[in-house]
């Protein structure tokens, strides 16, 4: 591990920092600056004492690409494709958001019609040239692009994953000042809609990501900066700008990297993770390894590059409570964000949030937030909730409790999506809670799913930033083949794997990664002939891979078929593992617990400082455990103990 390594996670409300320096861990938080995220990062670097000439290594989880997509604020982008295919991104899969709505609201196309250009250079499914790409067509494309004056261009020609020559010809004729995204470089796989959408998204937000990373690097010239990718591995900032689409789940992937590391550390490798921040809650399942999907979605857009398999909802500490037209209390998905934030932040927020509700119920202590560095305004929180309580005919406390119950149900349903709806009994898993607000809800959510054990990791409030330090440097590469596996030989497949491996190895070596440390995983996307979806199996040889596929299909769907097995994609994951962090619990002096009054409990509840707990301490709920970056509420019926690393292990009492 480098002498000085900084992990940074930019969230919607807070920017979190975890610094490993001289074999010690330091944590820090600052309010995010959504309009210019690098300002919060540079502020934190300064406050941590790193704004000098001493070099350090920084791994960063960025929300710039995510926010640009969700808010529809990408750059002006031209989309180039073959003749007759300009409407592919608009037509999509013809999926309807509201199946039985006969008058759906019109949806604007992702790319305006005038920015969709058609040209020659068409291939057949076997790679044969059906229509050449002439010099006249290339010059015409250049003139059209210059007239439209975009900032970026996305190129997506049919079957370009078989032969990328035509796409490269178009790229070479366009002005070098443009940000250019080729489908054959971003996603060399079949399905022209998903490939085209992913390529367009990369171009649409790429200049924004490039500009942001450039400003960050210029603001911290002493830092060697890497960026977390959606797959859970990191990439150098210099290379990340060209692959912006790989950063759409950058921050949440850091949390999963840390949860996976902690699961291995504690011998609990079957985890249901729950990351509750200020704006959203991210839920995922780790069954030995982090699950990846190539069928992800961000907002309304499919994203076919590998990303962590995660379900996200708009429920966080800053989620707004409101009353609908039927007079019912609702929570989220809108958030107060960092500016103005919850009413209790005292920055002008007038609407009640989940954080305000927890403060009114006593579960957050006004003078202990952020280790006492940020005083919360209880009166403002009560005033905000009282405006909801009056039309509901409830007390302020009853309304606050209702806000919490509704938020909990939203999050419990998200947890069911990742467990019960996949045929997995959550009672067999450990619920791992992190994020600044997660510890306040962990017991209620475990109860809702019938789970008996939970864990709140050390520094859970900044776990995504900690994950940046334990994530591997990685490349995920793929290519469509589309052949019947039983008619193919290993001698045909192995050279194709080698090409991808060499591409990934070159990218990592450019980051000064030790080549001897590289670990390579090869896998296949297989399906029965005639199916639309695939299952991923490890590559051994053709016959063994077919057997694996039959067994996996039987396990997943309850049956196997006597049909030919088709090889659709080959995949390579190549990574260099991060150094291990030797985290040990550093207990402070034992402190006499304070007491607090919590709504719903007749007796005062003990308030303990997490840093003063000793290994093996047993805490029986109800209790509050406070720390600099989070608060944990141990509910009645739960018992908590501290392990040797500092993780809180929760057990449901019978």
Q: Is 149 within the bounds of a domain?
A: yes
Give the number of domains in the chain: 3
Which residues, in sequence order, are CB contacts of 539 under 8 Å at separation 6+?
493, 497, 522, 523, 524, 545, 570
Q: Is 509 within the bounds of a domain?
A: yes
Q: In what helix (H) or strand (E) does residue 82 lie, and over which residues does it extend?
A: strand 77-82
- 52 and 102 in a single domain? The answer is no
- 24 and 118 in a single domain? The answer is no
Burial (CB count within 10 angstroms: exposed 0-12, middle 13-18, buried 19+), residue 241: buried
Q: How confident is the model at residue 347 (pLDDT cuts 50, 70, 90)?
A: confident
Decide the pairing of beta strands 129-131 and 122-123: antiparallel
What's 497's domain CATH number?
A: 3.30.1490
Contact criterion met (CB below 8 Å) for 486 and 563: no
308: β partners? 292
Q: Is 538 within the bounds of a domain?
A: yes
- 13 and 105 in a single domain? The answer is no
Task: Tell whether the model's pLDDT for residue 479 goes beyond 90.
Answer: yes
Across 589-602, average pLDDT? 81
- Domain range enclosing 527: 473-576
Domain final position from 186, 205, 224 = 205
Residue found under tokens 């334990």: 470
> pLDDT digits over 330-344, tens only?
998 888 876 788 999
pLDDT at residue 413, rounded to an integer: 94
3-state secondary structure of 204: helix
pTM for the structure as a whole: 0.84
d(CA 316, CA 447): 19
d(CA 574, CA 502): 10
609: β partners? 626
Q: Is 292 within the bounds of a domain?
A: no
Q: Is the dihedral of CA 579, 582, 588, 592 positive or negative?
A: positive
> pLDDT digits over 261-284, tens only?
899 888 888 999 988 877 778 899
- 100 and 185 in a single domain? The answer is yes
Q: How confident is the model at residue 591 (pLDDT cuts 50, 70, 90)?
A: low
> pLDDT digits over 417-476, tens only?
999 888 889 999 999 998 888 999 999 999 999 999 999 998 888 888 989 988 888 999
What's 135's domain CATH number?
A: 3.40.50
d(CA 206, CA 453): 42
Cis peptide before 137 (omega within 30 of 0): no
Mean per-residue pLDDT over the chain, rounded: 90
Q: Which alpha helices (DSSP H) does 248-377 contain, by range?
A: 250-266, 354-360
Q: Is 493 within the bounds of a domain?
A: yes
- 88 and 45 in a single domain? The answer is no
Contact criterion met (CB below 8 Å) for 250 and 63: yes
Q: How confident is the model at residue 611 (pLDDT cuts 50, 70, 90)?
A: confident
> pLDDT digits over 52-78, tens only?
878 899 999 887 888 788 778 899 999
pLDDT at residue 585, rounded to an integer: 61
- 96 and 195 in a single domain? The answer is yes
Least Cα distance to 648 among 498, 477, 453 occurs for: 453
Q: Is 281 within the bounds of a domain?
A: no
Most confident among 33-47, 402-416, 550-564 (mean pLDDT): 402-416
Q: Is 113 within the bounds of a domain?
A: yes
- 197 and 214 in a single domain? The answer is no
d(CA 543, CA 644): 46
């Amino acid at each position: 591990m480098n002498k000085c390594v900084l992990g940074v996670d930019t969230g919607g409300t807070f920017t979190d920092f975890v610094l490993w320096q001289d074999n010690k861990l330091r944590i820090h938080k600052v309010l995010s600056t959504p309009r210019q995220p690098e300002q919060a990062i540079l502020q934190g670097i300064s406050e941590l004492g790193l704004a000098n000439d001493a070099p350090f290594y920084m791994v960063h989880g960025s929300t710039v690409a995510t926010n640009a997509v969700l808010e529809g604020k990408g750059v002006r982008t031209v989309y180039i494709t073959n003749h007759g295919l300009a409407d592919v991104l608009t037509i999509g899969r013809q999926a309807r958001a509201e199946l039985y709505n006969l008058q759906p609201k019109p949806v604007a196309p992702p790319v305006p019609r005038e920015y969709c250009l058609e040209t020659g250079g068409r291939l057949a499914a076997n790679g044969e040239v059906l229509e050449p790409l002439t010099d006249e067509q290339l010059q015409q494309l250049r003139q059209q692009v210059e007239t439209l004056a975009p900032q970026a261009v996305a190129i997506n020609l049919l079957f370009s994953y078989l032969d990328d020559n035509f796409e490269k010809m178009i790229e070479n004729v366009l002005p070098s000042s443009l940000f250019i995204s080729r489908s054959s470089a971003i996603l060399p796989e079949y399905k022209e809609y998903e490939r085209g959408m992913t390529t367009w998204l990369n171009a649409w937000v790429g200049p924004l990501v490039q500009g942001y990373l450039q400003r960050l690097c210029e603001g911290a010239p002493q830092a060697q900066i890497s960026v977390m990718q959606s797959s859970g591995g990191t990439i150098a900032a210099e290379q990340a700008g060209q692959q912006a689409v790989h950063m759409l789940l950058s921050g949440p992937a850091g949390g999963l990297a840390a949860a996976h590391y902690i699961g291995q550390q504690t011998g609990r490798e079957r985890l249901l993770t729950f990351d509750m921040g200020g704006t959203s809650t991210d839920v995922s399942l780790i069954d030995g390894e982090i699950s990846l999907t190539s069928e992800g979605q961000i907002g309304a857009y499919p994203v076919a590059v590998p990303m962590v398999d995660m379900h996200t909802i708009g429920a966080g500490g800053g989620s707004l409570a409101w009353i609908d037209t039927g007079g019912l209390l609702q929570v989220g998905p809108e958030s107060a964000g960092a500016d103005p934030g919850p009413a209790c932040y005292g920055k002008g927020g007038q609407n009640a949030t989940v954080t305000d509700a927890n403060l009114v119920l006593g579960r957050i202590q006004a003078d202990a937030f952020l280790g006492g560095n940020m005083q919360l305004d209880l009166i403002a929180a009560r005033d905000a909730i009282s405006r909801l309580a009056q039309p509901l005919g409830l007390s302020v406390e009853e309304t606050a409790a209702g806000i919490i119950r509704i938020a909990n149900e939203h999050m419990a349903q998200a947890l069911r999506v990742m467990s019960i709806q996949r045929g997995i009994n959550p009672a067999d898993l450990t619920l791992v809670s992190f994020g600044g607000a997660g510890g306040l809800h962990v017991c209620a959510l475990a109860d809702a799913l019938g789970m008996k054990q939970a864990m709140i990791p050390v520094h859970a409030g900044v776990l995504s930033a900690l994950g940046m330090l334990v994530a591997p440097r990685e490349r995920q590469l793929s290519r469509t083949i589309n052949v019947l596996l039983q008619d193919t030989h290993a001698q045909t497949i192995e050279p194709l794997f080698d090409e991808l491996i060499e591409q990934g190895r070159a990218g990592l070596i450019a980051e000064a990664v030790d080549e001897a440390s590289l670990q390579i995983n090869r896998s296949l996307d297989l399906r029965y002939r005639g199916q639309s979806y695939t299952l991923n199996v490890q590559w051994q040889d053709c016959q063994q891979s077919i057997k694996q596929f039959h067994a996996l299909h039987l396990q997943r769907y309850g049956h196997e078929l006597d049909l030919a097995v088709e090889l659709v994609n080959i995949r390579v994951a190549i990574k260099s593992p991060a150094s291990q962090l030797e985290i040990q619990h550093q207990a402070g002096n034992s402190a006499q617990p304070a007491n607090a009054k919590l709504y719903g409990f007749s007796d005062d509840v003990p308030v303990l400082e997490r840093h003063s707990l000793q290994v093996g301490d047993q805490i029986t709920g109800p209790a509050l455990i406070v720390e600099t970056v989070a608060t944990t509420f141990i509910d009645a019926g739960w018992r908590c103990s501290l392990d040797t690393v500092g993780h809180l292990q929760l057990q449901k009492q019978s």
